[in-house]
Structure 1
Amino acid sequence: MSSSPSFSERIHFLDISSKLPGYRQSWSPNTLKTRLLLNAKGIPYTEQYLSYPDIAPLLKSYSVLPNEERTFTLPAIYHPETLKDVVPGGVIMTESAAIAHYLDSLYPSSLVQAFPEPKSESGALWKEAEHHLHAIQSKGKGYRLLMPRIPLILDDRGSEYFIRTRTDDHPQHISPLQWGSPNPEDDWSVVRPFVLTYLKYYESTRDAAVSAGRGGQGPFLWGDKVTMGDIYLASVLVWFRSAGEEMLDQFLAIGEKDEPAGRKAEGEPVWEKSPVRAVWDAFGEKGWLEGVGEPREIPLKSA
C-alpha cells in the first residue's frame, strides 16, 4: 500500500450516524474500534455515516453476508483495491476484529498494531479484555445506564429504528427508553463492582507486561504498546461520553481517591488515577479521539 493513497483509493469507513456535532458524531463502541485504530495507525481514510435503517440495504447491495445473528451491522470498510477475493462481494469487510487484523496486514510497518507480535498472545489478550468489558455492559447491566440515552442522540429515522428493533428484541417488549432504573444511582451501584474488577485486571496485566519486557512503561495493557484491548476500552469510554459528559466522568472516577463519598465500600482498592483514566488521557493526548476521515459517499449498488 502506498503511504499516501489518492482520495479514491483510501479506505472508506462506514459508521452509524448521530446528531452529535463534529467528530463526536461517532458514538458506537463497535464502529469506534475501527475508527480509533485508523486514527492510531495514522491511515488517511474517507468516511460515510449511515442511518440505522440504511445499513442493511447498502451492505446487501454489495453482497455482504449477515453476521451470526443474521443481521447486518457496522463497522465496515469499503476498499475494492485490496478486498477482491478476500470477502464476499470483494469490496466491503465487516466485523471489527476482522478489520483490525486486515489493517495490521495491510500496514505492517505501522507503529500501532491492533495485534502486535506475538499475535497468539495479543489475540488472547484481546479476548480477555473483551470479556471484562462485556461483563461491565451485560452482567453489570451497564446497558441500563446507556441504552435509554442512545435514541436521543440518533437521527430521527435511526432513533425510530433503534427503539422499534430493541423493543421487539426485549423479552417483555419494553422500549430501551425505559430500560434504566428510576434512580440512575441504582444502576451505577450494580455496574461499579464490575468496573473495579476490570481496573484490577487492567493494572495487573499492564504491570506484568512491563515486568516481562513486553513493553516499556506506559498506561496500556502492554505498557507503552497499544493493543486492540486498549482500543476497545477507549471505544467504550467514548460511548459513555456520547450518553453525557457526566456519564463518562462518573465512570472514570470509579475507584479513585476523590470519588464522591457514599459510593465506595470499606476495603476497596483506591487509585490516585485509575488505569482507565490513564488510557483515556493517553488517547486524548495523541489526538486519536478526534480523528475523522474526509466525507465521501458510496451509493447503493445497482443490481
Structure 2
Amino acid sequence: MSQLTLFDLPSKGRCSCWSLNPWKTRLALNFKGLDYKTEWVEYPDIKARLSPHVPANPPPDRDWTIPAMMFTDGTYIMDSKPIAERLEKDYPTPSLHLDSPIIQEIYPAIGAIARPLRAVWLPRVPVNLLNERSSEYFHRTREEVVGKPLAQFMKEEGGEEAWVEALPAIKSLGELAKRNGGPYVLGKTPSYADFIIVGFLQFFKVIEEDMYQRLGKAEPALGELYDACKPWLERDGH
C-alpha cells in the first residue's frame, strides 16, 4: 500500500504551498491528521506528470491542474472538490461536513472578490512566488488570457479602484464567515467551508502580506477565521 501523495505547485526560495486550490486539499489533509507526502510539480510539467493517470478536465478549465492526489490504492484524482469527497469517504473522521449548504455560497463569494482584484494578484504571482520555468509559463499563458503583458495589466487595472469594486464582496464573505457566530463558518465546528476561505486568504497572504491585511481590515471576521485555522496551516512545505 502506497502513501497518500499530494501534487502541489512549488514556490521559489523556501518551497511551500501557496496556491488557493492546493491549500484547500492540504488543509483538509492536515485537519484529518493524515499521513501524506508532497510531490512538487512545476507548471510546465503538470501535463506530463498527470496525463498518464487521470483524464483531462473538461473545458473551459485547463486540461490538467493542481491539486491532484494519488490515493493509497494507486488511484489519481484531480481537483480539490472530488479530492475532498474521496478523503471524506476514505477517512470520515473528523468530518469535513461537505454537505453543508453554505459551501455553495462561499465559492461564488470568493469569485466575486478575486475577479475585480485579478489585476492586483495575477501579475504578482510569477514575480513573487514562482521559480523561473513556472514564471515563464505563467506569464505566457496568462498574458494570452488577459491580452496584454501582466505588468501593463497591473498598471492599468490593478489600482485602488479594483479594491473599491471588490469591497462589497469582501463584506459578503465576512458575513458568511460569521453567520453562525464563529470562530468557524459553522460556529464551533471546523469544516471544509473554512478551508475554502482560508485557502484563499493564505493565497493572498503569501503573494503579499499587505493584500491579506487589507482583506482582514475590511472584514475582521476573515482574520478571525484565519487565526482559528492556523494549526492546519503549519504544515506547508512537505
The question of a shared fold, defined as TM-score above 0.5 by the shorter chain, is answered with yes
Which structure carries more helix by proportion?
Answer: 2
Pairwise CA distance, 1:292: 4.2
Distance in 2, Cα, partners of 1:225 & 1:181: 42
Q: Is the counterpart of residue 71 in structure 1 residue 55 in structure 2?
A: no
Matches for 1:1-303 after TM superposition, within 5 Å: 9-22=2-15, 25-62=16-53, 64-69=54-59, 71-79=63-71, 81-82=72-73, 91-108=75-92, 110-111=93-94, 113-115=95-97, 119=99, 122=100, 124-138=101-115, 141-152=116-127, 153-170=129-146, 173-181=147-155, 184-204=159-179, 206-207=180-181, 218-255=182-219, 274-284=220-230, 287-292=231-236, 294=238
Residue 293 of structure 1: CA displacement?
A: 6.7
Structure 2 contact 7–67 (Cα < 8 Å) conserved: yes
TM, length-normalised to structure 2: 0.91
Mark the runs of 5 or more structure 2 residues left unpaired by the alignment. none
Q: Contact 2:201–2:212 (CA<8 Å) still a contact in 1? A: yes
AA aligned to 1:75 is P
CA distance, structure 2, for counterparts of residue 235 and residue 38 of structure 1:
13
Q: Determine the C-alpha separation between the residues in 2 that align with 1:289 and 1:202.
A: 18
Partners of 2:197 and 2:151 in 1: how far apart?
25
Instruction: Label 1:162 to 1:132 Cα distance change in 2 as closer, same or farther (>3 A).
Output: same
Who wins on radius of gyration, i.e. which is larger?
A: 1
Partner of 1:211: none
Taking the aligned partners of 1:20 and 1:29, their CA distance within structure 2 comes to 19
- Structure 2: distance between partners of 1:164 and 1:68: 22
Structure 2 counterpart of 1:270: none
User: How far apart are residue 58 of structure 1 and its match?
Assistant: 0.7
Superposition RMSD in Å:
1.8
**1:15–1:278 distance in 2 versus 1, CA, 3 Å:** same
Match of 1:258 in 2: none
SS of 2:83 mapped into structure 1? helix
How far residue 180 of structure 1 moved from its aligned partner, in angstroms, is 2.2
Residue type of the alignment partner of 2:12: K
Q: Deviations over 1:234-262 (max 9, x none)?
A: 1001110111111111111114xxxxxxx
Contact 2:177-2:225 within 8 A present in 1 as well: no
Identity of aligned residues (%): 28
Residues 155, 164 of structure 1: CA spacing in aligned structure 2 closer, same or farther, 3 A cutoff?
Answer: same
Q: Tell me by how many angstroms 1:181 deviates.
A: 4.1
User: Contact (CA 8 Å) 1:130, 1:229: kept in 2 or not?
Assistant: no
User: Is the Cα–Cα contact under 8 Å of residues 57 and 64 in structure 2 kept in the other structure?
Assistant: yes
SS of structure 1 residue aligned to 2:102: helix
Asked if structure 2 preserves the Cα contact closer than 8 Å seen for 1:55 and 1:73, the reply is yes
Give the secondary-structure state (helix, strand or coil) at the position aligned to 1:14: strand
Equivalent residue of 1:9, what SS? coil
Task: Describe the superposition over 1:1-29 as per-residue Cα deviations: whole angstroms up to 9, x where unpaired.
Answer: xxxxxxx722100001111425xx21110
Change (3 A) 1:178 1:242: farther
Q: Report SS of the residue matched to 2:170.
A: helix
Could you state the TM-score of these two structures normalised by the residue count of structure 1?
0.72
